[in-house]
């Protein structure tokens, strides 16, 4: 934990920006560079910065949920995305698509189980990185 | 069909998630037991299907082979998954009494279930790169289990374990890369055909030997076994039991799979190396065991020597030898895991695993003596226990193949196995306890006693069943060996069905773009 006015002030701005950007990365990931993995890393970076500026205790308080639990819930979400194919009688991990408001010439808003899987990956990466970093920070 | 294949992987992962979220209460450990029981049921269903229909395969996500990831089970895969279910359930029950609350809070049950998922995944995958991924899953989970608790010797063993296994993994990955460069496919069934058309047989054999070394480290064969005796005696007993039973056997399974399905182009060369490796593994393992004076260290070295027998079956590459190898793997996993579980009980009531520091178990805990005797004598190959039939088939196969020296080695090693088993028997059971203690099973709380002894007794009973009624197991091993030696059914199940699935999946794949 560093006591620096500049860092503290910058962190306040950067954390929200990084988390927002990570969600943007997650959502564009299906068709463009990005996705759950890189999104999770970016999101975790925000909280790592917060931990450097305000200490690990404040970070854990800000996260509300233990980071290792976040990672495990992410694993569960990813698994559920794969298993959801069973409802439609497809093989494990077959992507399921829903096109909201699709018309003849517009495919509407595509929603898929692939995105749910990516959200799971996001949470796994986010949680694991923070578990490691917070443990290392607390060790020092 | 797709779901019977996938459920042995899905169930442990789902259990891991739940067991982790409930790790602070008693629910976590019961979830682990329930999950392991569900895994056993799922593996039984898979076995029933494979037994009835032959090789079954499914394409994950509907991506057709050889492009997507295929899950495939022949009889060998199916029986390995069943054995994983059996050992997993036994150890999950044993862990109720063996693993303390601190380790549970660190996530023991979740890691244990992830390990089971990794092992099942490795047995079921039909894709060689996916196999690498499962090896990584196993490595991560097993490293976590190994150092859980964080004692100095655990970290020492853990670092050796992970370093040597990483070397093996890197070699494995490089070999996969080279193989892909030569053949352009990663699907194992597809590779079976593709390697026949490689115009550089020398390079193919080089890659085969790289796989041999990579899996050899995992299987702990001579001269790559050092990590095993350096680490297996350090973690909790439930952990070393599951490691001893399953982890090295995944390496053996991978060797069997790769050297029956893919690298059969130059059997005279590759399988002769395997034969020498088998002989030397048996001898060094058993001699190492003879020099040790700790319950678990002796057993660890015995894993090495027993691996030699399985490799022997693969190396001879005759139908009977493969039957022996399959039979041996099945028998060995049950027996070996059980011996480590017995060692855990001995430590609980007598206070140590150092043979010089314990004793008198026969007089005061005769039931434990009996429960040790069954797997120990089975391991040494006493008739009529399961190990006898396994060794008998292998020795007969070596005599049939006129490899008299390897038959002699197998017999002598069996004899030396008896030597170290009697060493444990003599020191831990017959001689009086050096501190004059009278270790009794009744010293344990009743609940712990049940949780510790029921798995041991069940596994011992299974050993006896295989020993007294070997007939169905041999018939099974014969069918399984026939499948291994004639991969046509395997290849057909993976690729044949794929052509149908591809036509079916065609419109489905284009669907996201359908509106344009």
Distance separating alpha carbons of residues B507 and B501, to the nearest angstrom: 11
Q: Which residues on adjacent β-strands are paired with residue B72?
A: B57
Q: Is A111 on the interface with B (CB under 8 A)?
A: no
pLDDT confidence band for B505 (50 / 70 / 90): very low
Element (H or E) spanning B409, and its range?
helix B404-424
pLDDT tens digit string along B59-98?
Answer: 888 788 788 889 999 999 999 999 999 999 999 999 998 8
Quickly state the pLDDT bin for B1 (edges 50, 70, 90): low
CA–CA min distance A36, chain B (Å): 19
Rounded Cα distance, B247 and B220, in Å: 10
Chain mean pLDDT for chain B: 87
**Distances from the Cα of B363 to the Cα of B127, B441, B454, angstroms:** 53, 11, 21
The more confidently predicted of residues B152 and B509 is B152
* A67 contacts on B by Cβ (under 8 Å): none
Give residue B497's pLDDT band: very low, low, confident or very high (50, 70, 90): low
CA distances from B261 to B113, B118, B183, B266, B384 (A): 29, 21, 15, 12, 33
CB contact under 8 A, A92 and B2: yes
pLDDT mean across residues, chain A: 88
Q: For chain A, what is the domain count?
A: 1
pLDDT tens digits, B163-183 = 888 899 999 999 999 999 999
Lowest-confidence range among B218-227, B350-359, B411-420? Answer: B350-359
What is the DSSP annotation of B371-400? HHHHHHHHHHT-TTSHHHHHHHHHHHHHHH
End-to-end distance of chain A based on CA atoms, in angstroms? 10
Give per-residue pLDDT as tens, B312-333.
999 999 889 999 999 999 999 9
Nearest-neighbour CA in chain B from A129: distance (Å): 15
Confidence of residue B503 (pLDDT cuts 50, 70, 90): very low
pLDDT at position B232 is 84
B21 CB neighbours in chain A (<8 A) are: 69, 72-73
Which of A122-126, B141-145, B226-230 is the most confident on average? A122-126
Q: What is the arithmetic mean of pLDDT over B244-257?
A: 91
Structural domain including A57 reads 5-139
Task: Judge whether B68 and B60 are in contact, CB under 8 Å.
Answer: yes
Q: Residue A84 has what pLDDT?
A: 86
Q: Is A11 left (phi over 0), alpha (psi -120 to 50) or beta?
A: alpha
Judged against a pLDDT cut of 50, whether residue B513 lies above it is answered with no
Q: Give per-residue pLDDT as tens, A15-41.
A: 999 999 999 999 888 788 888 899 999
Average of per-residue pLDDT across A101-118: 82
Nearest-angstrom CA–CA distance, B336 and B217 = 19
Looking at residues B440-468, what average pLDDT do you find?
Answer: 88
Determine, for residues A91 and B60 on separate chains, whether the beta-carbon distance falls below 8 Å: yes
- Is B62 an interface residue toward A (CB < 8 Å)? yes
Look at residues B458, B251, B252 and name the one whose alpha carbon lies nearest to residue B375.
Answer: B458
Best B5, B61, B126, B511 residue to mutate vs chain A (most A CBs within 10 Å): B61
The percentage of chain A sitting over the pLDDT mark of 90, rounded to a whole number, equals: 46
Q: Report the pLDDT value the prediction gives residue B135, as an integer from 0 to 100.
A: 93
Inform me whether the C-beta atom of residue A7 falls under 8 Å from chain B C-beta atoms: no
Residue B481 has pLDDT above 80, yes or no: yes
pLDDT for res B172 = 94
Mean pLDDT within A45-59: 91
Rounded to whole angstroms, the Cα distance separating B375 from B421 reads 10
What are the beta bridge partners of residue A109?
A100
More confident residue, B512 or A13: A13
Per CB-CB distance under 8 Å, the chain B contacts of A92 are 2-3, 6, 10, 58, 60-61, 71
**Cα–Cα distance, B449 to B431 (Å, whole number):** 24
Q: Do B3 and A82 touch (CB under 8 A)?
A: no
List all residues 6 or more positions away from A139 whose beta carbon is below 8 Å from its beta carbon.
none
pLDDT of residue B35: 94
Q: What percent of chain B has pLDDT over 70?
A: 96
Lowest-confidence pick of A1-5, A118-122, B392-396 = A1-5
B136 close to B222: Cβ distance less than 8 angstroms:
no
Structure ipTM: 0.86
The residue among B19, B22, B62 with the most chain A CBs within 10 A of its CB, best to mutate, is B62
Q: For the residues A72-99, what does the mean pLDDT come to?
A: 86
Residue B355: predicted pLDDT:
81
pLDDT at A1: 67
Provide the pLDDT for residue B264.
86
pLDDT of residue A140: 61
- How far, in Å, are B31, B299, B447 from residue B357 at the CA level? 37, 17, 27
pLDDT band at B49 (very low <50, low <70, confident <90, very high): very high
pLDDT of residue B110: 92
Residue B500 pLDDT greater than 60, yes or no: no
Q: Which residue on chain A is closest to B515 by alpha carbon?
A: A107
Q: Tell me the C-alpha distance between B84 and B46, whole Å.
A: 13
The confidence score (pLDDT) of residue B507 equals 39
The yes-or-no verdict on residue B501 having pLDDT over 80 is: no
Q: Which of the four pLDDT bands, split at 50, 70 and 90, describes residue B510?
A: very low
* Overall average pLDDT of the B199-220 stretch: 90
Average pLDDT on A75-81 reads 92
Distance CA(B139)–CA(B168), nearest Å, equals: 11
Residue B371's alpha-carbon distances to B93, B412, B414, B454, B457, in angstroms, are 17, 25, 20, 11, 7
Q: Please name the residues in contact with B2: beta carbons below 8 A apart, sequence gap of 6 or more.
A: A91, A92, B58, B59, B60, B71
Residues of A in contact with B117 (CB under 8 A): none
pLDDT score recorded for residue B460: 93
| Alpha carbon separation from B15 to B9, B114, B239, B241 (Å, rounded) | 10, 9, 17, 20
Whether residue A83 and residue B21 make contact (CB cut-off 8 A), yes or no, is: no
Going by pLDDT thresholds of 50, 70 and 90, the confidence category of residue B161 is confident
Q: Provide the residue ranges of all domains of chain B, joining segments of one domain with +.
A: 2-495
């Amino acid at each position: 934990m560093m006591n620096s006015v500049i860092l503290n002030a910058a962190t306040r701005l950067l954390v929200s920006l990084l988390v927002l950007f990570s969600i943007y990365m997650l959502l564009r990931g299906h068709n463009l560079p990005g996705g759950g993995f890189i999104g999770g890393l970016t999101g975790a970076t925000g909280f790592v910065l917060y931990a450097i500026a305000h200490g690990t205790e404040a970070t854990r308080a800000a996260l509300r949920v233990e980071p290792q639990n976040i990672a495990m819930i992410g694993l569960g979400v990813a698994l559920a995305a794969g298993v959801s194919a069973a409802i439609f009688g497809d093989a494990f991990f077959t992507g399921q698509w829903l096109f909201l408001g699709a018309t003849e010439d517009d495919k509407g808003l595509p929603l898929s189980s692939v995105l749910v899987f990516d959200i799971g990956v996001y949470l796994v990466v986010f949680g694991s990185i923070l578990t490691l970093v917070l443990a290392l920070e607390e060790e020092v | 069909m797709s779901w019977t294949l996938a459920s042995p992987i899905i169930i442990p992962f789902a259990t891991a998630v739940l067991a982790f979220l409930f790790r602070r209460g008693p629910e976590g450990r019961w979830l682990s037991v329930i999950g392991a029981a569900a895994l056993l049921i799922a593996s039984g269903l898979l076995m029933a299907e494979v037994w009835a229909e032959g090789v079954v395969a499914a394409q994950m996500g509907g991506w057709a082979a050889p492009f997507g990831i295929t899950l495939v089970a022949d009889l060998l895969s199916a029986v390995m998954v069943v054995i994983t279910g059996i050992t997993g359930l036994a150890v999950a029950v044993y862990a109720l009494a063996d693993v303390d609350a601190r380790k549970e809070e660190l996530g023991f049950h979740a890691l244990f279930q992830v390990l089971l998922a990794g092992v099942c995944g490795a047995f079921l995958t039909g894709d060689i790169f996916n196999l690498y991924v499962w090896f990584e899953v196993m490595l991560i989970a097993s490293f976590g289990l190994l150092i859980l608790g964080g004692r100095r010797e655990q970290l020492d063993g853990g670092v050796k374990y992970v370093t040597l296994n990483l070397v093996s993994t890197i070699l494995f990955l490089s070999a996969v890369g080279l193989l892909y460069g030569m053949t352009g496919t990663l699907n194992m069934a597809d590779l079976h055909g593709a390697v026949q058309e490689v115009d550089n047989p020398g390079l193919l054999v080089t890659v085969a030997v790289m796989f041999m070394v990579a899996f050899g480290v995992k299987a702990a064969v001579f001269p790559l076994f050092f990590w095993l005796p350096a680490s297996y005696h350090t973690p909790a007993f439930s952990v070393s039991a599951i490691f001893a039973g399953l982890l090295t056997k995944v390496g053996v399974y991978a060797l069997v799979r790769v050297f029956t399905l893919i690298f059969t182009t130059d059997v005279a060369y590759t399988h002769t190396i395997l034969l020498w490796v088998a002989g030397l593994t048996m001898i060094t393992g058993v001699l190492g065991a003879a020099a040790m004076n700790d319950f678990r260290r002796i057993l660890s070295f015995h894993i090495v020597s027993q691996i030699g027998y399985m490799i022997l079956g693969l190396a001879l590459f005759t139908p009977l030898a493969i039957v022996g190898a399959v039979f041996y793997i099945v028998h060995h996993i049950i027996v070996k895991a059980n011996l480590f579980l017995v060692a855990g009980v001995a430590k609980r009531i007598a206070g140590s695993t150092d043979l010089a520091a314990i004793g008198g178990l026969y007089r005061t805990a005769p039931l434990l003596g009996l429960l040790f005797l069954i797997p120990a004598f089975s391991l040494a190959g006493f008739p009529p226990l399961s190990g006898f039939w396994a060794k008998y088939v292998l020795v007969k196969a070596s005599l049939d193949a006129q490899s008299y020296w390897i038959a002699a080695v197998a017999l002598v090693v069996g004899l030396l196995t008896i030597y170290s088993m009697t060493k444990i028997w003599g020191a831990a059971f017959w001689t009086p306890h050096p501190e004059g203690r009278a270790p009794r099973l009744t010293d344990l709380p009743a609940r712990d006693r049940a949780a510790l002894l029921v798995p041991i007794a069940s596994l011992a009973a299974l050993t006896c069943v295989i020993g007294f009624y070997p007939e169905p197991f041999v018939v099974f091993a014969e069918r399984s060996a026939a499948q291994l030696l004639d991969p046509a059914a395997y290849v057909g199940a993976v690729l044949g069905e794929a052509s149908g699935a591809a036509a079916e999946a065609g419109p489905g794949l284009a669907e996201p773009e359908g509106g344009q």
